[in-house]
Amino acid sequence: MKKTVLVSGGAGFIGSHVTVELTQAGYDVVIADNMSNCDETNYKGVCAILGRQLPFEKIDFCDSAAVEALFSRYTIDAVIHFAAYKAVGESVDEPLMYYKNNLDSFLNVLEAARKHGTHVLFSSSATVYGEPEKTPVTEESPRQEATSPYGNTKQMCEDFLRDCVKAYGMHGIALRYFNPIGAHPSALIGELPRGVPNNLVPFITQTAIGKRECLSIFGNDYPTPDGTCLRDYIDIVDLARAHVCAVTRMIEERMDKPYEIFNIGTGRPLSVLELVTSFEKVNNLKLNYRIAPRRPGDVVAIWADPTLANEKLGWKATRTIEETLASAWAWEKHLAGRA
Ligand code: UD1
C-alpha cells in the first residue's frame, strides 16, 4: 500500500522540491502551508512537473486544533516539517515572533505525531555547528551556542524531537542541511526570496538578470586560500532526495536508533569567489561584483562530512556545481519571463 507523507511548508523552496521527489518515488504527499512567506508559484510548478494536482491544505501549524484535524483527516505515515520562519537577521530583531512561530508549530506537529503514531523528519541546519573548530564537521562535532534566535530554534527543535522520541517511543530524524542552492531542472520550481536576498546564490542570479546592481562579496581577508568564506553548497534536488531516503528508512524501520541525525552536504568546500567564477563560466556571463567588508556573524569555513548519510541513508550528492548553478540561472530567467 502507498504510504502518505505530510509536508508542512510544502509550498516553499525546499518543501516543493521534496514533494516532487517523494511523489516520483511513489509516495502520496499532502502539502500543507499557510502561504505566509510564498505565493502559489511553487505549488503550481509542482503540479505541472507531476502532471496532476496534489492535495493542498492551507493551515497554520501554530493552530493546534487545525493540526490535529489534519492528522485525523489523512492517514499520515510520516511528516516532514519545514513550516518555519528562516531569516537570520529578522530573527535577531523579532525573537518572540521566531520563537512563537517556529517552536509552537513544531510542538503541535510532535503532539499530533505522538497521538497518531507518525514518523517525524525535522529540517535542521548546519547553523547548529556555529564556527566549527575542526572541518569537515561530522554529526558528532559539538553544537555551538546559537548566534541568532533562528539558529536557536533549530537547536531547540532538534532537542524537542530527541526528547519526544525518547519519552514516547516515537521515531525521528533531523537532517542538518549545509547551503541549499539551485532549482529543479524543469525551472518550474525554485527559490522565491522576498525583498533583497540575504543568501548568496539568489543575490548572484538577481544581479546577473539586472534586478540588483552589484554583488557584494563579504570579506576577502579571511584565513582561507583565496580570502573568502568556505561553504558546502548542496544542490536542492540532491537535498530533496535525502528526504526520500530518510523517510523510507523510518517507514521501513531500518533505523539504528529511534532518533538519528544526518549531515546533508557534498563534503566539498567552495569559496565565495570560486562559486562566483563558476557561475560566470557555466552561464557564459560577467557578474558585476565588488569586495565589501565582512558581514557580521558570518562563519569563516564550514563543510560537511557526509559519510554517515552516504552509508546509512544510501544517499550521495550527485549533481555538479555547474549543473546546479545553471539550474539557478535558468530559474531566474524563468521568473523574469513570467514577470
Ligand atoms: C545563512 C545563515 C544560516 C542559514 C542559511 C540558509 C548566517 C550567519 N547563516 O548561511 O543560518 O541556515 O543562510 O541558507 O546568516 N555572501 C556574500 N554576499 C552576499 C551574500 C552572501 O559574499 O550578498 C557570502 C557570505 O558571506 C557567506 C556565503 O556567501 O560566506 C554564503 O552566504 P549565505 O548564502 O547567506 O549562507 P550562510 O551565511 O552560509
315 Cα: distance to centroid of ligand 1 (angstroms): 25
How far, in Å, CA of 171 to CA of 178, rounded?
A: 23
200 Cα: distance to centroid of ligand 1 (angstroms): 6
* pLDDT value for 101: 98
- Residue 223 domain-assigned (yes or no): yes
| Pair (125, 262) in one structural domain | yes
| Pair (135, 214) in one structural domain | no
| Pair (162, 275) in one structural domain | no
By most ligand atoms within 8 Å of CB, the mutation choice from 131, 196, 263, 272 for ligand 1 is 272
Cα–Cα–Cα angle for 151, 91, 219, rounded to 5 degrees:
75
| Pair (14, 107) in one structural domain | yes
Residue 249's contacts (CB-CB under 8 Å, 6 or more residues apart) are 173, 255, 260, 312, 313
Ligand 1 shell residues, CB under 6 Å: 88, 125, 127, 151, 179, 198-200, 203, 215-218, 229, 231, 272, 295, 297-298
| Alpha carbon 134 to its chain's center | 23
* pLDDT value for 179: 98
Q: How many domains does the chain have?
A: 2
- Residue 119 domain-assigned (yes or no): yes
How far, in Å, CA of 89 to CA of 149, rounded?
A: 9
| Pair (131, 272) in one structural domain | no
Q: Residue 171 in 3-state DSSP?
A: coil
pTM for the full model?
0.97
- Residue 191 domain-assigned (yes or no): no
Number of Cβ within a 10 Å radius of residue 195: 6
| Pair (151, 212) in one structural domain | no
Nearest CA, atom 5, ligand 1: 179
Instruction: Find the CATH number of the domain harbouring 205.
Output: 3.90.25.10
Nearest CA, atom 15, ligand 1: 88
Range of the domain at 144: 4-182+233-267+307-313
* Three cell numbers written together for 241: 532526495
pLDDT in tens, the chain (339 residues): 899 999 999 999 999 999 999 999 999 999 999 999 999 999 999 999 999 999 999 999 999 999 999 999 999 999 999 999 999 999 999 999 999 999 999 999 999 999 999 999 999 999 999 999 999 999 999 999 999 999 999 999 999 999 999 999 999 999 999 999 999 999 999 999 989 999 999 999 999 999 999 999 999 999 999 999 999 999 999 999 999 999 999 999 999 999 999 999 999 999 999 999 999 999 999 999 999 999 999 999 999 999 999 999 999 999 999 999 999 999 999 999 964
Q: Which of 266, 274, 285, 269 is nearest to 330 (CA)?
A: 285
- Residue 94 domain-assigned (yes or no): yes
DSSP state of 173: E
| Pair (16, 30) in one structural domain | yes
Calculated CA dihedral for residues 225, 231, 235, 241, nearest 10 degrees: 130
| Pair (49, 121) in one structural domain | yes
- Residue 188 domain-assigned (yes or no): no
| Pair (26, 152) in one structural domain | yes
> How far separated are the first and last CA of the chain, in Å rounded?
42
Instruction: Find the CATH number of the domain harbouring 66.
Output: 3.40.50.720
Number of Cβ within a 10 Å radius of residue 138: 14
| Pair (24, 82) in one structural domain | yes
| Pair (119, 10) in one structural domain | yes
- Residue 247 domain-assigned (yes or no): yes
- Residue 78 domain-assigned (yes or no): yes
Q: Do the beta carbons of residue 91 and residue 65 sit within 8 Å?
A: no
- Residue 194 domain-assigned (yes or no): no
| Pair (61, 9) in one structural domain | yes
